[in-house]
Chains A and B, each alone.
Chain A
Amino acid sequence: MTDNLQLNAEGKLKHFLSIEGLDKSLLTEILDTAESFAGVSENQVKKVPLLRGKTIVNLFFENSTRTRTTFELAATRLSADVINMNIATSATSKGESLLDTIRNLESMFVDMFVVRHSLSGAAHFIAQQTAPHISVINAGDGQHAHPTQAMLDMFTIRQIKKDFSNLRVAIIGDILHSRVARSEIQALNTLGAAEVRVIAPKTLLPAHVESLGVSVCHNLTEGLKDIDVVMMLRLQKERMSSALLPSESEYFKCFGLTEEKLKIAKPDAIVMHPGPINRGVEIDSKVADGPQSVILKQVSNGVAVRMAVMAMAMQVAPTPARSATTDRHAGSLPASDIHTIPGDKGGL
């Protein structure tokens, strides 16, 4: 059910809710399409008219600056009209149900919802309930999934490492509560990474974590051996008050990434973080701002990846050039070219 929910009758992306249920070719198509959009942001006119006349609603039931901004930028670069709704402070606080909020917005003839919600499964629920012409993009639901973050990270990794098959990736920190981690693990496994290793104390690991397709390590120094990609996760302050960890300083001592510890990983290892970072808690500033860090690259890639997913879900994405891994710019198109691409299927 979840598997099919994301695809239309032709097997094309309709909703983007989680990485689960999407195969390697579809994930590669997202990356290739993103590649073709990567140039748009660098053009003088940062716009392509693929979603002209479409209305996209950013439905944020939970606060976020970075994710909402990149979604907004992505939508405007595709020429869509964007409405930002910060539901955390509006309708639901007046007692309106999730479903009523959706029904109301639907009747304003919108075409896409970008949803962030504090509960796992919220985006699935909206995709199931909403009118058939509307696409839903999950911008993070509870502890479940954050698929666009995972895809922009895959995009960043592919830019630098070219290929996934020989990669050993370590994900470090609060796996238990992290929707980012769940999506990263699924994406890396689907794209064929050699190993995904999670490094955390037991209190921050979900039960049967191995069943997600990872190896497990409780010690950062041991865990970083042979690692090509180091993914740090944000540590929420609440974890201390709920007795999951003793203190920030002890966490930093055990699991904080320092220059010294990074040396244990492969010399060309890259350091990633979905942001916002807690300097001195999970990562030392010298590493966050150091030469191996690609944290800001992740942020700028966020726009292209989100443009790709939005265009694909609305069935207007240009057909990307195949195998962009070998030639990064092969698929990238100037704005004027995209304009002429026959992408009218979706009713543009």
Chain B
Amino acid sequence: MKIRIDHGRIIDPANKIDRVGSVYIARGKIVSVSDEPAGFQADTVINAENQIVCPGFIDLSTRLRDMGHSRKATFKSEVRAAASAGVTTLCLQPDTVPAVDTPAMVELIKELAEKAGYPQIYAIGALTQKLEGAELSSMLSLKQAGCIAVGNANHPVKNLLILRRAMEYAASHDLLLMFRSNDFWLSNNGCAHEGAFASRYGLPSIPEAAETVALSQCLELAELTGCRVHFGQLSSKRSVIKIQQAKKYGLKVSADVAIHQLHLTEDDMVPFDSAYHVLPPFRTEQDKQYLRRGLAGSTINSICSDHQPHDLDAKLGAFPETEPGISSLETLLPLMLKLVEQQAITLEQGIACLSANPSRVLQMHSGALTPGFAADVCVFDPDIEWEVNAKNWLSQGVNTPFWGQTLKGRVTHTLQSGKIIYRL
């Protein structure tokens, strides 16, 4: 199967390419992005005129539910959403039901991924058994089974000694720790940022320090243990500053931010509307601006969806009892483009944050249109406007604060290893 994508504006940050041209794909791999290879006979030609052709997106934090949570969503429903969003690689958080703490679970995930027709789903292994934060998981076995990293999702590690040992053990096997900074005690079952909004509406609140205290501790342990750490889903100003300082100091750390944190703050929250219930919580305008600056200055190198589809019941109730999370795969691209429109970042940066940079975090040979790489390609029209509604939505979870809004930018084609997995 040979595919040629014509007339598109090719943006490939890793190879510093930004020009109009054709992309040639054969046997699932990129063959060329400049000259036509000798004797290339395309079976399929995609006309990408006035569109952008870029590497397929790599999402560092996703939940596809299924298994014990199939009422919320299934691999089948969510990979369609991912494909329609231009996402070609998904990293699955380990807090599935049951948790990803055995090679058998990793195998099951692979099997479900194959069955769903979307093989590029990678599990993040649980750092501790059952994510209970007490005993180390069999990290080497998890790695051998295919886990690309280890992490504890939103679950606390019982104490710093256990975290230290887990990081030492992960480092011994050159495993990346994907760390979610959240001090269990300081966050105290909160459901909103500790600020004016939570105070006004009497909502149990989470201070910024819940994130920065945990992040600082983990930074110290990163230095002590030599473990590679990626800090996921930052939400606050001081987290950005701390990561910046740590990088300057020479620590091998990286960070990402969930796309919605770059757009919404506590001021945007509709009182008691559970669509805004998310962890970490929406913080202040200043936090948002620092997150954007952190992205522009490469302190934060990746944007993730932090996709968390829910069934309706999970979001029906008094705000504190509803489940946190946003179904966010399908708004990922348009919200990234909005950052470009608002001049927070350049288009090239935005694409890099969704492809080349997360690939670097995972040390994968992907996220670029380099000849020889798997042909993971996203073709999108930056000018198509569409309304977030049931007609345009594929995820089983409709829990998004952007519901009903008109967004700009839509994927027209998604290729995963040279196979067209989505066509608008």
16 additional contacts, CB 8 Å, given A1-B271, A207-B196? Answer: A1-B273, A2-B272, A119-B318, A120-B201, A120-B204, A120-B320, A121-B201, A121-B272, A121-B320, A141-B318, A142-B320, A143-B203, A144-B203, A208-B199, A209-B199, A212-B200
Main secondary structure on chain B at its contact with chain A?
A: loop
B205: Cβ under 8 A from any A Cβ: yes
With A97-B313, A117-B318, A119-B321 as known contacts, state yes or no: A124 contacts B205, CB within 8 Å: no
Chain B, residues 59-90, CB within 8 Å of chain A (1/0): the string is 00000000000000000000000000000000
Residues on A with beta carbons closer than 8 Å to the beta carbon of B199:
206-209, 211-212
> Is the CB of A98 closer than 8 A to any CB of chain B?
yes
CB-defined contacts of B196 to chain A, threshold 8 Å: 207-208, 211
Are A142 and B194 interface neighbours, CB within 8 A? Answer: no
A137 near B: Cβ within 8 Å? Answer: no
CA distance A121 to B317 in the complex (A): 9
Is A77 located at the chain interface by the 8 A CB criterion?
no
Interface pair B316/A99, CB less than 8 Å apart? yes
Whether A142 and B317, one on each chain, are in contact in the complex, defined by CB atoms closer than 8 angstroms, is no
Pairwise interchain contact A207-B207, C-beta atoms closer than 8 A: yes
Write out, one digit per residue, whether chain B residues 131-142 have a CB within 8 A of any chain A CB (1) or not (0).
000000000000
Q: Could you count the A-B residue pairs with CB atoms below 8 Å apart for me: how many are there?
A: 81
Query: Could you tell me if A125 and B317 are in contact, using CB atoms closer than 8 angstroms?
Result: yes
Which of A99, A117, A206: most chain B CB closer than 10 A?
Answer: A206
- Residues facing A in B78-107 (CB within 8 A) are none
Segment 128-165 of A: residues with Cβ below 8 Å from B: 129, 141-145
Docked-complex contact A1 and B270, CB < 8 angstroms:
yes
Determine if A179 is an interface residue (Cβ-Cβ < 8 Å).
yes
B195 at interface, CB cutoff 8 A: yes
Q: Chain B residues with Cβ under 8 A from A125's Cβ?
A: 272, 316-319
CB of A97 within 8 A of CB of B320, answer: no
Residue of A nearest to B284 (CB): A208
Q: A68 interface residue, CB < 8 Å from B?
A: no
8 contacts between A and B (CB under 8 A): A20-B200, A129-B316, A142-B202, A143-B202, A144-B203, A207-B194, A207-B199, A208-B199
Tell me what chain A mostly uses at the interface: helix, strand, loop, or mixed: mixed
A100-137 vs B, CB cutoff 8 Å, 1 = contact: the mask equals 00000000000000000101111011000100000000
Residues in A neighbouring B271, C-beta threshold 8 A: 1-2, 121, 124
Give Cα A120 to B274, complex, Å: 12
* Chain B residues, Cβ within 8 Å of A99: 316-317
Q: With A1-B270, A2-B272 as known contacts, state yes or no: A119 contacts B200, CB within 8 Å.
A: no
Cβ of B51 to closest chain A Cβ, rounded Å: 38
Smallest beta-carbon distance A115→chain B, Å = 10
Inter-chain contact B313/A122, CB cutoff 8 Å: no
Asked if B345 is an interface residue, CB under 8 A from chain A, the answer is: no
Q: In the complex where A182-B202, A206-B199, A209-B199 touch, is A122 in contact with B270 (Cβ < 8 A)? A: no
Q: In the bound complex, what is the Cα–Cα distance between A144 and B194 (angstroms)?
A: 14
Mark interface residues in B187-201 (1 if CB within 8 Å of A CB, else 0).
Answer: 000000011101111
Please list the residues of chain B having a beta carbon within 8 angstroms of any beta carbon in chain A: 194-196, 198-205, 207, 270-273, 313, 316-321
Given contacts A143-B203, A207-B198, A207-B199, contact A119 B319 (CB under 8 A): yes
Q: Provide the residues of chain B in CB contact with A211, threshold 8 Å.
A: 196, 199-200
The docked-state distance in angstroms from the alpha carbon of A129 to that of B322 is 15
Chain A positions within 8 Å of B313 at CB level = 97
A33 to B270, CA, bound (A): 31
The interface of chain A, by Cβ under 8 A from chain B, is 1-2, 20, 97-99, 117, 119-122, 124-125, 129, 141-145, 179, 182, 206-209, 211-212
Determine the distance from Cα of A97 to Cα of B313 in the docked complex, in whole angstroms.
9
Return chain B residues, CB-CB under 8 Å to A121: 201, 203, 271-272, 318-320
Contacts of B272 in A (CB 8 A): 2, 120-121, 124-125
Which residues of chain B come closer than 8 Å to A144, judged between CB atoms?
201-203
Smallest CB separation, A102 vs chain B (Å): 11
Q: How far is the CA of A1 from the CA of B201 in the complex (A)?
A: 14
Residue of A nearest to B312 (CB): A99
**In the complex, which residue of chain B has the Cβ closest to the Cβ of A146?**
B202
- How many Å lie between the Cα of A42 and that of B253 in the bound state? 74
**Beta-carbon contact of A179 and B316 below 8 Å:** no
Q: How far is the CA of A207 from the CA of B283 in the complex (A)?
A: 13
Report the nearest B residue to A175, measured CB to CB: B199
How far, in whole Å, are A333 and B195 apart by their CA atoms in the complex?
46
Residue of B nearest to A205 (CB): B199
On chain A, the residues within 8 Å of B319 by CB distance are 119-121, 125
Q: Which of B201, B205, B273 has the most CB of A within 10 A?
A: B201
Q: How far is the CA of A117 from the CA of B204 in the complex (A)?
A: 15
Centre residue among B196, B207, B313 by max chain A CB count within 10 A:
B196
A2 cross-chain contacts in B, Cβ below 8 A: 270-272
Closest chain A residue to B320 by CB distance?
A119
Q: Complex formed: what's the CA distance from A330 to B317 in Å?
A: 44
Whether B318 lies near A98 (C-beta < 8 A) is: yes
- Distance in angstroms from B319 CB to nearest chain A CB is 4
Closest CB of chain B to A36's CB: distance in Å? Answer: 32
Q: How far is the CB of B213 from chain A (nearest CB, A)?
A: 16
A124 to B318, CA, bound (A): 8
A99 to chain B, nearest CB (A): 5
Give bound CA distance, A141 to B205, whole Å. 16
B53 to chain A, nearest CB (A): 41
Determine the chain B residues whose CB is within 8 A of the CB of A98 once the complex forms. Answer: 317-318, 321
Chain B residues contacting A179 (CB-CB under 8 Å) are 202
How many whole Å from A222's CB to the nearest CB in chain B? 23
- Would you give the shortest CB distance from B124 to chain A, in whole angstroms? 32
Residue of B nearest to A178 (CB): B202
| A209 / chain B contacts, CB cutoff of 8 Å | 199
